[in-house]
Amino acid sequence: GAGVSQSPSNKVTEKGKDVELRCDPISGHTALYWYRQSLGQGLEFLIYFQGNSAPDKSGLPSDRFSAERTGGSVSTLTIQRTQQEDSAVYLCASSYRQGAEQPQHFGDGTRLSIL
């Protein structure tokens, strides 16, 4: 596709369940980022991928959060044993290559609600 695609667009689940969020970056983009947007915390960095490697996982809030990227393309963010504080919009972004000057292109996000 032409842009970053995220699925599902909305996810409602019960506390304690596991969820998987998917991101399809722009074709050819080697760098991929996950951010979380919540009312209390604003936009926060979670994790960065260059190819299939994650050099920077510093933003993951707890060990319940994990992410992987396969084939240098699709990425999945997994949240285990979800808590109500995990409710947020999870945004994925990609850029052509790594670098601070590179513009990041964002998907429309997955809105996650934990009941």
Residues in touch with other proteins (CB under 8 A): 4, 31, 33, 35, 42-43, 45, 48, 50, 55-56, 58-59, 91, 93, 95, 98-109, 111
Residue 92, amino acid: C
Bridge partner residues of 22 (DSSP): 7, 76
To other proteins, the closest distance from the beta carbon of 26 in angstroms equals: 12
To other proteins, the closest distance from the beta carbon of 108 in angstroms equals: 5
Listed residue (6, 10, 11) closest to 82, CA to CA: 11
Given a contact cutoff of 8 angstroms between Cβ atoms, the answer to whether 24 and 9 are in contact is no
Which CB sits closer to other proteins, 31 or 80?
31
Cα gap 61→95, rounded to integer Å: 23
To other proteins, the closest distance from the beta carbon of 16 in angstroms equals: 27
